[in-house]
Amino acid sequence: MKTKRKPKTLHITEADFMLANRRAARLEEIAEHGRPVTFRKAVHKSKKVYDRKRLKKQLPEE
DSSP assignment, residue 5? P
pLDDT tier at 49 (50, 70, 90 boundaries)? confident
Q: How confident is the model at residue 2 (pLDDT cuts 50, 70, 90)?
A: confident
Is the pLDDT reported for residue 21 higher than 90?
A: yes
pTM of the model: 0.47
What is the per-residue pLDDT for 39?
76
Q: What are phi and psi of 33, to 5 degrees?
A: -100, -15
| pLDDT surpassing 70 at residue 5 | yes
CA 27 vs CA 23, 24, 30, 37: distances in Å: 6, 5, 5, 11
Residues with Cβ within 8 Å of residue 48, at least 6 apart in sequence: none
The span from the CA of 52 to the CA of 35, in Å, is 36
